[in-house]
Amino acid sequence: MRTRPFGPLDRSLPVIGLGTWQLERDDRAAAIAAIHRGVELGMTHVDTAEMYGSGHVEELLGEALAGRRDQVFLASKVLPEHGSRAGVIAACEASLRRLRTDHLDLYLLHWRGEHPLADTVAGFEALVAAGKIAAWGVSNFAADDLDELRAVADAGRITCNQVLYHLGERTIEHAVIPWCERHGVAVVAYSPLGAGDFPSPRSAGGRALAEVAAAYGATAYQVALAFLVRTPAVFAIPKAARRAHVEDDAGAGELELSAADVARLDAAFPRGRWRGLPTL
Ligand code: NAP
């Protein structure tokens, strides 16, 4: 598994991590076994949120990570309605209880809400000072939101922006990735496999993917992930509740596409025009 520095952190993370949205709907024992396999394969960036299964996914992770907490970089997210200074602190403490841990490695604002960003940042910084989180970031922020955030955060404090990014949805390439590159902020690609809407092998894009994959002895899913993490600032967190899927996704962390193959996929899955930041 390739690793690289994660935004301003003095720490490298795997290019491919583990997402957990809707994991409460899967077979629990199989999902826990899949997480264990992913961690074993180096997918140690584990992403969750208080929202997922209304806390049930954090509880499932608490069970899955018992005895393994030190092996992972654990990220969770606070809902925007909990974005006041006191709300962020209370929500984090509830997440910590469900996750059966005393600290998060990363805590994100899930999306922008009504609370002033300065209040949310004050909550994050109080949690850092108390040792309850090591770092904080945001999710679903467009470049102008990031500008506003930067005005209320000290330099080097914004760790990442987690945003929608897959072959069929490349809007963040216009402004969000360049902003993050300029400011040393990591980009975390969510729904990197299209959240269940993966290109059909019968489509033109699907055929291009299959041909590139065949040249590397890889799968189309691995090529799709490798395309996203071709950019050094970008990390991906596919969700997989099955061992075979986790193993396949981990393999993408070893795959580096040639410039010619990147150009081929770029043509098959055009970036399109800027139409505002998409969310799921
Ligand atoms: P995704 O990772 O794009 O796709 C997940 C789907 O792909 C699952 O059905 C999974 O199946 C399947 N899959 C995974 N690997 C596969 C493989 N190698 N071959 C075939 N199928 C494969 O979708 P996502 O869950 O929306 O996004 C990933 C993570 O990003 C989430 O879990 C969450 O942590 C995060 N996220 C964040 C936000 C946000 O607003 N910040 C929004 C959405 C998602 P199985 O599960 O059956 O294995």
Would residue 219 count as lying in a domain?
no
Summarize the confidence of residues 81-91 as an average pLDDT: 98
Q: Which atom of ligand 1 is nearest to the CA of 248?
A: 18
- Residue 123's pLDDT is 98
- Residue 106's pLDDT is 98
Q: Could you tell me if the CB of 221 is within 6 A of ligand 1?
A: yes
Please tell me the distance between residue 208's alpha carbon and the centre of ligand 1 in angstroms. 22
Q: Could you tell me if the CB of 131 is within 6 A of ligand 1?
A: no
Active site residues: 52
- Residue 279's pLDDT is 84
Would residue 170 count as lying in a domain?
yes
Summarize the confidence of residues 68-92 as an average pLDDT: 98
Q: Give the Å distances, CA to CA, from 218 to 230, 241, 247, 270.
A: 16, 20, 12, 22
Of the chain, the percentage scoring pLDDT greater than 70 comes to: 100
pTM, rounded to two decimals: 0.97
Residue 129 CB burial class (10 angstroms; 0-12, 13-18, ≥19): exposed
Name, in order, each residue with C-beta under 8 angstroms of 191's C-beta and a sequence gap of 6 or more: 164, 165, 166, 169, 280
List the beta bridge partners of residue 166: 169
Q: pLDDT tens digit string along 61-71?
A: 999 999 999 99
Q: Could you tell me if the CB of 161 is within 6 A of ligand 1?
A: no
Q: Could you tell me if the CB of 138 is within 6 A of ligand 1?
A: no
CATH of the domain at 249: 3.20.20.100
Would residue 6 count as lying in a domain?
no
Summarize the confidence of residues 88-113 as an average pLDDT: 98
Q: Could you tell me if the CB of 213 is within 6 A of ligand 1?
A: no
Q: Which atom of ligand 1 is nearest to the CA of 20?
A: 32
Determine which residue's CA is closest to atom 48 belonging to ligand 1: 240
Q: Which atom of ligand 1 is nearest to the CA of 238?
A: 2
Would residue 120 count as lying in a domain?
yes
Q: Could you tell me if the CB of 139 is within 6 A of ligand 1?
A: yes
Q: Could you tell me if the CB of 190 is within 6 A of ligand 1?
A: yes
Which of 256, 137, 245 minimizes the C-alpha distance to 192?
245
Q: Which atom of ligand 1 is nearest to the CA of 222?
A: 18
Would residue 75 count as lying in a domain?
yes
**Residues spanned by the domain of 175:** 12-200+224-258
Q: pLDDT tens digit string along 190-223?
A: 999 999 999 999 999 999 999 999 999 999 999 9
Would residue 55 count as lying in a domain?
yes
Which of 105, 103, 59, 111 minimizes the C-alpha distance to 82?
111
Please tell me the distance between residue 219's alpha carbon and the centre of ligand 1 in angstroms. 16
Q: pLDDT tens digit string along 46-62?
A: 999 999 999 999 999 99
Choose which residue among 95, 167, 172, 193 to substitute to test ligand 1 binding: the one with the highest number of ligand atoms within 8 A of its C-beta.
Answer: 193
Number of domains in the chain: 1
Would residue 263 count as lying in a domain?
no
Core vs surface per residue 254-264: b (16+ CB within 10 A) or e: ebebeeebbeb
Please tell me the distance between residue 19's alpha carbon and the centre of ligand 1 in angstroms. 6
Would residue 148 count as lying in a domain?
yes
